Amino acid sequence: MSDGNGPNAFKVHEIMIGRTRFPSNVLMAPLAGYTCFPFRLMAKRLGAGSAYTEMVSADALKYNDRATSKLLYTDERETVKCVQLLGSVPTVFERAAKSDLLAPFDVIDINMGCPVPNVVKAGEGSALLEDIPRAAKIIEACKRSGKTVSVKCRLGMNGQKIVIEEFARMCEASGADMITVHGRTRSMMYDGEPLYEYIRLAKESVGIPVFANGGIFSKEDALKMAEKTGADGIMLGRYGFENPLIFAELTGHECGDTKYSLLLEQLELSSEIFDEFYVLTYIKKLASYFMKKMPGTKQLKADMYRCGSVSELRDVLGAIFKGTEYAD
């Protein structure tokens, strides 16, 4: 991906993160409720250098329940396995990072950016931006696993408390191999123009790779983000789920896929691994995202949500997508 103009034009390339080689520097962010194993495989097939698991509670790993096993499902088809952990206690992170459950994973990403109130109140996610000593101990704890460690964070809690320069330096000093900076403060949540200059400040403050995230909803947005920040790579969030074909567009990866063919592929793959209730829930969410810009789909979407079986859902998806630009 490059517009070919100027020294700051963004180039897609392989990149080493710690001891882990990523096939491209265009990544898919962890998204709670969305980046399951089938989706991660699809993103990588389309050109993503990697895709992270949904957010996993470091503390919850000790229970090894059914929900956690779904979040952590992986097999030999997934290369560069990346898991994201959420928590606030360094010893809990260390135990999780060294656990058998995370043994298959190459990279541990530490969530230090989630802005939702219940997470912040628990001292997790964005709250760690205000507790830099604790954040440092968490990174050090994860590094003791011997795995590659990345950190995903925001700029600060609000416009008066932007700490990204100090925070980035702490991440590097504590052993982090990479930082992904979401270009908004916690108080901005998911709205507003990213503050590109602060991502650039983080990049200029450290020697480890810095990836830029936030507000990317097109190839043009991705180029703008890369060029304004000088980041080593970009990480797509919600738009990667709305339009996974963006990975092929950004990386120049050749594929003959359409949104409809991707849905059918995801339906088959998820049916191999998960129970029917999970498959129905996941595919309905994915299809709803795919339908965002399709006119006249209100009734068809209602029909889709009434589907009670995989076979019924397959038929309805055909009725929705066949004959549209998303199936051609």
pLDDT at 4: 41
pLDDT higher than 60, residue 303? yes
- The predicted-structure confidence for 109-124, as pLDDT tens digits, reads as follows 999 999 999 999 999 9
pLDDT at 299: 83
With a pLDDT cut of 70, the percent of the chain lying above it is 95
**Contact by Cβ (8 Å): 215, 194:** yes
With helix as H, strand as E and coil as C, how does 275-320 read?
CHHHHHHHHHHHHHHHCCCCCCCHHHHHHHHHCCCHHHHHHHHHHH
Q: What is the mean pLDDT of residues 56-74?
A: 90
Residue 9 or 11, more confident: 11
Instruction: Sketch out the chain's domains with CATH numbers.
Output: 15-251 (3.20.20.70), 259-321 (no CATH)
Annotated catalytic residues are 114
- The predicted-structure confidence for 164-202, as pLDDT tens digits, reads as follows 999 999 999 999 999 999 999 999 999 999 999 999 999
pLDDT higher than 50, residue 7? no
pLDDT higher than 90, residue 8? no
Distance in angstroms (rounded) separating the CA atoms of residues 269 and 240? 19
pLDDT at 9: 56
pLDDT higher than 50, residue 226? yes
pLDDT higher than 70, residue 326? no
pLDDT at 222: 95
Q: What is the mean pLDDT of residues 298-313?
A: 91
pLDDT at 48: 97
pLDDT at 152: 98
Two tokens, residue 16: 């080493």
With a pLDDT cut of 90, the percent of the chain lying above it is 85
Q: What is the mean pLDDT of residues 64-72?
A: 88
pLDDT at 24: 97
pLDDT at 270: 97
Two tokens, residue 276: 């029917």
Q: 325 falls in which pLDDT band (50, 70, 90)?
A: low
Average pLDDT in the chain: 93
How many other β-carbons are positioned within 10 Å of the β-carbon of residue 66? 9
Residue 323 or 180, more confident: 180
Q: How far is CA 155 from the centre of its chain?
A: 18
pLDDT at 84: 98
pLDDT at 324: 60
Q: Which residues pair with 17 in a beta bridge?
A: 20
pLDDT at 67: 86
Q: Which of 122, 120, 146, 135 is nearest to 168 (CA)?
A: 135
Sequence letter at residue 118: N
Q: What is the pTM of this model?
A: 0.93
Distance in angstroms (rounded) separating the CA atoms of residues 36 and 260? 19
